[in-house]
């Protein structure tokens, strides 16, 4: 520990349209490649979590979003990182896999079946509820 007083946040976005959630398939590291996640990434110094969601979705999916409420519980990661999920609503663009292998839209039933990264699995009940499922 080098004087760190707070966990650094990693944000992940639950983009929902109708009754479907947007998932992104990881390309790296090898042990996560092929698994699906809520898109996102690390909050940079001086950035708010909402700013980070906005930036990451622009970088990774080429879309603009408005960022809504937090969902689900905190997920502690290695190295003093904490993962948090936020709702996000598309306001411009069609998502493209700029940094992922593929994207898909899943309904509640498909979400329960798909291979999510381990860190995101705890959000499943919250996400299924949001999808009305």
Output 15 or 37, the one with its CB closest to ligand CDP: 37
| Separation between Cα atoms, residue 14 and residue 21, nearest integer Å | 7
Residue 120 near ligand CDP by CB under 6 A: yes
16 is a site residue for ligand CDP (CB under 6 A)? no
Kindly state the number of chain residues that form the binding site for ligand CDP, as judged by CB under 6 A: 12
Residue 8's alpha-carbon distances to 5, 12, 13, 44, 79, in angstroms, are 9, 13, 17, 9, 9
41 binds ligand CDP (CB under 6 A): yes
10 binds ligand CDP (CB under 6 A): yes
Within positions 63 to 92, which residues make up the interface with ligand CDP, using CB under 6 A? 77, 83
Determine if 122 is a binding residue for ligand CDP (CB under 6 A).
no
């Amino acid at each position: 520990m080098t004087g760190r007083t707070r966990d650094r946040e990693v944000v992940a976005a639950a983009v929902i349209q109708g009754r479907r959630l947007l998932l992104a398939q990881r390309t790296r590291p090898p042990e996560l490649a092929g698994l699906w996640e809520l898109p996102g990434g690390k909050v940079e110094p001086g950035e708010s979590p909402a700013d980070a969601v906005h930036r990451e979705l622009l970088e990774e999916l080429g879309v603009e979003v408005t960022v809504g409420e937090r969902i689900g519980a905190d997920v502690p990661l290695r190295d003093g990182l904490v993962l948090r999920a936020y709702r996000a609503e598309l306001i411009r663009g069609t998502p493209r896999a700029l940094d992922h292998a593929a994207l898909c839209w899943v309904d509640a039933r498909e979400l329960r079946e798909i291979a999510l990264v381990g860190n995101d699995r705890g959000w499943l009940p919250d996400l299924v509820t949001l999808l009305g499922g």
